Amino acid sequence: MKVDFERAIEEIKRRGSKRVGIQLPDGLRRRTFEIAEEIERRTDAEVIISGNTCFGACDIDLHLLHETDLLVHFAHSPIGEMNKVLFVSVTQEFEIEDLMKEALSILGKRVSVVTTAQHFGVLEKAKKMLEESGRDVIIKKPRRSPNPGHILGCDFSAVAENSDILFIGTGDFHALGISLFTEKDVVVLDPLKNEVRVVNAEKMKRKRYLIVSKCFEAKKFGIIVSSKPYQKRLSLARTLRDKAKKKGLRAEIIYLDTILYETLLNFDADAYVNTACPRFTYDDAELHPKPVITPEEFLVVLGEKKLEEVGVDQM
Ligand code: SF4
């Protein structure tokens, strides 16, 4: 794992920051003390560590930001400008040659390559191998990130049309999202499992149909809004609430920071519409105590859309 320390140190010195907050995702927290001590040793700054969630670039610890001159947010790429926030990359280098050979055997002539922030380092290598094998390669700039080929769980616009898709990354969340978005198979090159697999969202789609169908009996809807910057869709939530009320349903907006199943249990809604991070809607959906649906799925419940027309939730 390569942390771009030099960028953090340089920027802290350049700004003359005296109190610096640091924010790290779970996977990097084992190195929190090492990172804090390195900053304190090489600059004049005092470091304060955020203990709050750090799920993505949208998840800025605003409280800590107010207490500090600079907040250094590790491992995510920016999805918007914030004055006192510095995004520092953490990349994982790995050999892709053998896995790429396997992926090449199933990819067609035109290939769209996408990845997450941690794996930007191998994007160029993958592109080169694909081109050497005669493929046309597309690495497209998405809407929310400045980095071509960057996939977020809330933005799949880096995937090019009319192409096969190669996703370099771990887990199935992003690949399933891409498949929902494109209605195609996704070839996953997974450096953690050291394998190439094909992911398709057909099963997930059927599960979504089941969850939405449960909402037809619901009378009370909680419309979830997150206070996190770049996740907040308050005006959408207000529109949905008003539409629901017009249809005679009960609907209220629930505004919170981090969405937890336990928090939702205390409310007396029959179902929830999530306008915050789509990951909460899709991940472990079958474990949700009450159905959680996307804004578009809610339009199906309201009779304004057909289920077959619903795409993946994006911001
Ligand atoms: S909203 Fe969710 S998917 Fe989008 S950047 Fe934030 S954590 Fe990631």
253 and 236 fall within a common domain: yes
Instruction: Establish how many alpha carbons lie within 13 A of residue 222's alpha carbon, considering only the half-sphere containing its beta carbon.
Output: 22
CB neighbour list of residue 95: distance below 8 Å, 6 or more residues apart: none
279 lines ligand 1 (CB under 6 A): yes
Q: In tens digits, what is the pLDDT along the chain, a chain of 315 residues?
A: 888 889 999 999 999 999 999 999 998 999 999 999 999 999 999 999 999 999 999 999 999 999 999 999 999 999 887 889 999 999 888 899 999 999 999 999 999 999 999 999 899 999 999 999 999 999 999 999 999 999 999 999 999 999 999 999 999 999 999 999 999 999 999 999 999 999 999 999 999 999 999 999 999 999 999 999 899 999 999 999 999 999 999 999 999 999 888 888 889 999 999 999 999 999 988 888 899 999 999 999 999 999 999 999 999
277 lines ligand 1 (CB under 6 A): yes
Number of domains in the chain: 3
22 falls within a domain: yes
DSSP letter assigned to residue 184: S
8 falls within a domain: yes
CATH number at residue 190: 3.40.50.11850
Ligand 1 atom index nearest CA of 76: 5
168 falls within a domain: yes
241 and 161 fall within a common domain: no
Pairing assessment for the beta strands 186-190 and 164-168 based on DSSP bridges: parallel
CA 19 to chain CA centroid, Å, is 29
Structure tokens at 137: 């390669």
Q: Which domain holds residue 42?
A: 2-90
DSSP 78-130: -SS--TTEEEE-EE-----HHHHHHHHTT--SEEEEEE-GGGGGGHHHHHHHH
Q: CA distances (Å), 286 to each of 129, 214, 276, 314, in order?
A: 39, 12, 18, 21
314 falls within a domain: no
Q: Which of 59, 90, 121 is the last residue of a domain?
A: 90
pLDDT for res 1: 81
Structure tokens at 146: 């400045």
CB 204 within 8 A of CB 176: yes
- Tell me how many degrees the CA angle 302-307-313 measures, rounded to the nearest 5: 90
Q: Which of 200, 234, 256 is the last residue of a domain?
A: 200
Ligand 1 atom index nearest CA of 58: 6
256 falls within a domain: yes
